[in-house]
Amino acid sequence: MTGPDRPTVKVLVWDLDDTLWDGTVLEGDDPAPFPAATAALRALDERGVLHAVASRSDPAIAAAHLERLGLHELFTVLEIGWGPKSGAVRRIAEAIGIGLDTVAFVDNDPVERAEVAAAHPVVRCYPAEEVAVLAERPEFRPEFVTADARLRRLRYRGEARREQAREEHQGTPEEFLASLGLELTIRQARPDDLARAHELTVRTHQLNTTGRTYGLAELRALCDSPDHRVLVAELTDRFGEYGTIGLALSERTRHREGDGPDGPAEVLRLLLLSCRVMSRGVGPALIGHVVRAALAEGRRPLAEFVPTDVNRVMLVNLRFAGFTVVGQEEGGRLLLGYPAAAPPPPAPGHLRLLTPGPGATPGPHDPRTMP
């Protein structure tokens, strides 16, 4: 069952011979895939469960057979060779960047399953005859199936191409970043964004300013509130889409600082980013957009920050964007403010910023601002 100790499966690792297909390619067979296996592949792929291969075979021959069957694109990582499958499973988890407790393994050979289970007790292992019912098991049913989840495989494959390009790049990291052709779209959240926004609040901890979580009903109410602004950020580059990678939730209010008069303000209650885009300069761009939107309405930009053991980088992002600490509450909660006389921060030069939708504030790289 799933739960705090048994999370939902994120990757299903497949054996090939006599598990995915009916036969052994190295014995001269031309095996067809089991219908139950292809049905499970596609059903789980639709839910955002990734697929990988850990198989004892010749890598070129096995991969070529996957291509002939039209199944190659469904797999994110291929580990085909002659070493222990426990090692292959570990490398798959490392390549994708997930914990072994979210990995499952299916193989027709009980010895192979036992070897993986002994090396990685948290990996769930299944015999090949259970393939037909895997999609019905609760551990393969995420709480929400978002549009981002359905495209997860394509995004991981795009990330692999990015990493290869980064390794082959001869210039500086800054030049590589500029070569990606990054486009950041920041827009008001729509109803079909709310499941992904909720998912981000409960899953993102390192790049999160306050750690607040919001249920679907809360997010829906905030989107409908005239006193709140809920923004989502989407990123693309020349290798494809990253998906929805950021969320900014702010409240229009009044604020009194020290003994001075109160005035209109916009308080950033939550800013979070996916760890996948930590090195892309998205944080300063999203913060800058929130600041410009607040200033355009004549409001003082403010931001809350709740320090944790892992989110200091978000405080660094706020400080580099121009925010300074204006107050501190019990428990370490900080209130930061944008200097009243300071101009709006510019967008990073390596990003093209797009702000579509009604009421959006165009950024300096938005095509609508170009002459």
User: Across residues 38-43, what is the average pLDDT?
Assistant: 95
Confidence of residue 157 (pLDDT cuts 50, 70, 90): confident
pLDDT at residue 233 in the model: 94
Residues 148 and 48: beta-carbon distance below 8 Å: yes
pLDDT tens digits along 187-243: 999 998 998 888 888 876 778 999 888 888 999 999 999 999 999 999 999 998 888
- 92, 223, 274, 284 from 173: Cα distances, Å: 26, 38, 20, 18
For residue 65, how many other CB atoms are within 10 A of its CB?
22
Give me the DSSP letters along 294-337.
HHHTT-EEEEEE---SS-HHHHHHHHHTT-EEEEE-TTS-EEEE
Report pTM. 0.72
Residue 154 exposed, middle or buried by CB count within 10 Å (0-12, 13-18, 19+): middle
Q: 66-75 burial by CB neighbour count: b if 16+ within 10 A, else e?
A: beebebeebb
β-partners of residue 328 are 334
Give the Cα separation of 153 and 150 in Å (integer): 8
Q: What residues have CB less than 8 Å from 20, skipping those under 6 apart?
A: 14, 33, 34, 37, 53, 71
pLDDT at residue 357 in the model: 60
pLDDT tens digits along 98-125: 889 999 999 999 999 999 999 999 999 9
Residues 142 and 45: beta-carbon distance below 8 Å: no
150: pLDDT strictly greater than 80:
no
